[in-house]
Structure 1
C-alpha cells in the first residue's frame, strides 16, 4: 500500500509540474488578468479612452503590442476583441482562478487512475496468489508424475526380466522335451532288442530239448526180451 501512495503522490507532482511547465511555455504568447481585481479594456493606451469591456481576474489575453512608456499593453481577447490594458495588471502566470480548476480536474483524473491502479494491483495480487497456488499444484502433479514414471520403469524392467526368464524357460523345456523324445526312442530300441533276444533264447531252448529227446534214447542199448531165450 505504501508503494501505491508513493505512486499517487508522484502522479500528483507530475501533474502540477506539467501544469506549471505548460504555463511557462505559453508565457510568451499569453497573459492573464491578475487575480486581485477586474480591469477595464480601453480603446487606447490611457484611461481617457473609452471602455470596451470589463475583464475579470484570470481572463486570458494575447499581447499584441506595448506603449512607448510600457505602462499600457495592447491585447486581444479569446473572443477577438482588441484593446489596451494597464501592464501592471497583467501576469505571465496563470492565476489561482484559472490554475485551481485545472488542478482539480487533473486531480480528479489522477484519483480515477488511482482507483484503476488499485483495482489492477488487487487483480495482480490475486493473480500472484493464484499463480503461486497453481505452481504448488503443478509441482505436486509433477512429483506424482515422476514417481509414477519411476514405478512404471521399475515395473517395465521387471516385466522385461520376466519375459527374458520365460523365454529361457521355454527354451529349456523344449530342450528337455527333445532329450525325453530321444530317451523314449532309445528305450524303444532296447525293448525291441530285448524281445528279439528272448525269442531267440526260447527257440534255442526248444530245439535243444527236442534234440535231447531224440538223441539220448539212442545212446543206451535195448535189453533183449527173456522169452527169446527160451
Structure 2
C-alpha cells in the first residue's frame, strides 16, 4: 500500500510538472535585457510582491539574461552576471540599453572616431611635410642639375679649346721641325761657304806670297844687275 501511494504521488508530481512546462504564456527565454531608466529594481524569489527579495538594488542599465517571461503575472525570470537568478517585473526591463548606456556608447564611439580623425590628421600633416621636403629636394636637385649642365658645357668648351690648342701645338711643332731642318740646312750651307771662303783666302794669300816672292826676286835681280854694271 505504501509503495502504491508513493508511486501515485510521484506520478502526480510528474503530471503537474509536465503541465507546468507546457502551460502557454511561460516560454523559456535566453535573450539579453536591461533594467529600464529606474533607479533601483528589486529581484524577488517569485512572481509577486509577497515573495522574498533576493536583491534590492538593480541599478538602471544593469545587464541581465532573461530565462522566462510570464505575461499573465507581468514577471520575468532573469539571471545576473554573478549567476544569481530571480523574478523581476517585466515593465522594468528592456531589450535596448538605457539612455545612459547609449550615451556612454555614443561617447566612446565619438572618442574612437575622434582618435581616428586625429590620427588621420597627423598622417596628413606628416604626408604634407614629406611632400614639402620632397619638393624642396626636387628644387635642390634641379638647381644642382642646372649647375652640372653649366659645368658640363664649360668643360665641353674647354675640351674643344684644348683640342684646338693641341692642333695648333701640333702645327707649331711641325713648323718648328721645318724651321729646324731649314736651320740645319743653312748651317751646313754656311759651313760649306765658310770652308770655300777659307780656301779662297788661302789661295789668295798663297798667290800674294808667290807674287811677293817673285817681285822680290825680280827686284833683287834688277838691283844686282845695276850694281854689276856700275862696278
Do they superpose with TM above 0.5?
A: yes
1:58 equivalent among 61, 82, 100: 61
Q: TM-score, normalised by structure 2?
A: 0.64
Relative to 1, partners in 2 of residues 1:29 and 1:166: Cα closer, same or farther, differing over 3 Å? Answer: farther
Q: Indicate whether 1:138 and 2:141 are aligned.
A: yes
Contact 1:45 1:67 in 2 (8 A): no
Shift of 1:83: 1.0
Q: Deviations over 1:137-179 (max 9, x none)?
A: 3322321221122112211321233133224323431331132
Shift of 1:77: 1.3
Q: TM-score, normalised by structure 1?
A: 0.64
Shift of 1:91: 2.6
Contact 2:64 2:80 in 1 (8 A): yes
Take 2:113 and 2:75, find their aligned partners in 1: how far apart are those partners? 41
Unaligned runs of 5+ in 1: 1-27, 218-224, 226-230
In the alignment, which residue of structure 2 is the partner of 1:33?
Answer: 35
Take 1:116 and 1:56, find their aligned partners in 2: how far apart are those partners? 37
Structure 1 residues 116-125 or 180-189, which shifts more?
116-125
Take 2:158 and 2:47, find their aligned partners in 1: how far apart are those partners? 107
Structure 1 residues 146-155 or 125-134, which shifts more?
125-134
Shift of 1:32: 1.2
Take 1:34 and 1:73, find their aligned partners in 2: how far apart are those partners? 14
Tell me the secondary structure at the aligned position of residue 97 of structure 2.
Answer: coil
Take 2:95 and 2:168, find their aligned partners in 1: how far apart are those partners? 102
Contact 2:70 2:76 in 1 (8 A): no
Take 1:31 and 1:167, find their aligned partners in 2: how far apart are those partners? 107
Larger-Rg structure: 2
In the alignment, which residue of structure 1 is the partner of 2:156?
Answer: 153
Tell me the secondary structure at the aligned position of residue 183 of structure 1.
Answer: helix
Relative to 1, partners in 2 of residues 1:194 and 1:153: Cα closer, same or farther, differing over 3 Å? Answer: same
Relative to 1, partners in 2 of residues 1:75 and 1:49: Cα closer, same or farther, differing over 3 Å? Answer: same
Matches within 5 A, 1:111-126: 111-126=114-129
Matches within 5 A, 1:34-49: 34-35=36-37, 38-49=40-51
In the alignment, which residue of structure 2 is the partner of 1:94?
Answer: 97
Contact 2:38 2:59 in 1 (8 A): no
In the alignment, which residue of structure 2 is the partner of 1:199?
Answer: 202
CA RMSD across the alignment = 3.5
In the alignment, which residue of structure 2 is the partner of 1:177?
Answer: 180
Tell me the secondary structure at the aligned position of residue 65 of structure 2.
Answer: strand
Q: Deviations over 1:95-126 (max 9, x none)?
A: 21212112213323433443454444344434
